[in-house]
Amino acid sequence: MPIKIAPSILSADFTKLGEEVKRVEAGGAEILHIDVMDGHFVPNMTIGPPVIKALRKVSSMKFDVHLMIERPELYLEEFVNAGADIITVHAEASIHLHRLIQQIKSMGVKAGLALNPATPIEVLTYVLQDLDMVLLMSVNPGFGGQQFIQGVLPKIVALSTIIAQVNPGCLIEVDGGINTDTISLVSRAGADIIVAGAAVFTKPDPVLAIKELLAAAE
Ligand SMILES: O=C(CO)[C@H](O)[C@H](O)COP(=O)(O)O
Ligand SMILES: [Fe+2]
């Protein structure tokens, strides 16, 4: 499967969010990455279900909702009702990971599990077979526009080897610090979906920026 870019609205202009989303969709983007932060799990706050619900009215892209929140189990239904297609929770945010993943799947959406840069992939051992996606953070979560952490590259390689054996349908998403220099590294390491925020939405032409990222990945 060719890699896909999921533009992250974290770096979009929030005063015209609907227009920004429609623009990347018209340009061919299929997945929209939506970063939800609660000011507890990460030291920043962003948006929640009402904004996702509003965007759902103007977009038919797949909504890839990245929950950087504590107690995600309390809010799953709200995010599903708002229009999420994939819900990704952090392994570090729950002590009942198996139950949490089953809860997401029982709601009829795809289940993703995110790992911070310092979290080893061994945490996936007994849940990988149930996942639709693993999100490997390549920055410490909380902010857009940070520098890519090179140490995550062997983690992507190791995970893609394990996924091929255990759950070949499970996708690897890499999130943080992606630009035209770093994208080829993560693509070669085995990423299927690559999130890009600053590298898309701080550029004068976000659609062109996505095309340049895809070209650099090859
Ligand atoms: O989850 C995130 C931050 O916690 C963002 O998705 C990520 O950082 C994307 O932004 P950028 O491409 O600008 O690094
Ligand atoms: Fe994210």
pLDDT in tens, 166-203: 999 999 999 999 999 999 999 999 999 999 999 999 99
For the chain, the structural domain boundaries read: 4-217
Alpha-carbon distance 80 to 70, whole Å?
A: 17
Count other C-beta atoms under 10 Å from residue 40's C-beta. Answer: 12
Alpha-carbon distance 46 to 144, whole Å?
A: 11
> Average pLDDT of 30-59?
98
- Atom 4 (ligand 1) nearest CA: 141
> Average pLDDT of 11-36?
98
Pairing of strands 110-115, 86-90: parallel
pLDDT for position 116: 98
* Ligand 2 centroid distance, CA of 198 (Å): 12
pLDDT for position 24: 98
Determine if residue 143 is left, alpha or beta; phi over 0 gives left, psi from -120 to 50 gives alpha, anything else beta: beta
CA angle, residues 173, 68, 103, in degrees to nearest 5:
80
Fold assignment, 4-217? TIM Barrel (3.20.20)
- Atom 7 (ligand 1) nearest CA: 176
Distance spanning both ends of the chain, measured CA to CA: 13
Distance of CA 142 to the CA centre of its chain: 13
**Burial, 108: exposed, middle or buried (Cβ in 10 Å; 0-12, 13-18, 19+)?**
exposed
Distance of CA 109 to the CA centre of its chain: 15
Ligand 1 and 90: CB distance under 6 A: no
> Average pLDDT of 98-127?
98
Q: What is the pTM of this model?
A: 0.98
Phi, psi of 67 (to 5 degrees): -90, 105
Of the candidates 145, 146, 122, the residue with the CA atom closest to the CA atom of residue 134: 122
pLDDT for position 9: 98
* Ligand 2 centroid distance, CA of 166 (Å): 25
pLDDT for position 1: 78
With pLDDT > 70 as the criterion, what percentage of the chain qualifies?
100
**Burial, 180: exposed, middle or buried (Cβ in 10 Å; 0-12, 13-18, 19+)?**
middle
Q: How many residues does the chain have?
A: 218
Q: Quick check: helix, strand or coil at residue 142?
A: coil
Of 90, 195, 203, 213, the one to substitute when testing ligand 1's pocket (max ligand atoms within 8 A of C-beta) is 195
pLDDT in tens, 59-97: 999 999 999 999 999 999 999 999 999 999 999 999 999
Which residues are known to be catalytic? 35, 175
Of the candidates 13, 2, 3, 1, the residue with the CA atom closest to the CA atom of residue 202: 13
> Average pLDDT of 1-20?
97
Query: For ligand 2, a single-atom ion, which residues have Cβ within 5 Å?
Result: 35, 66, 175
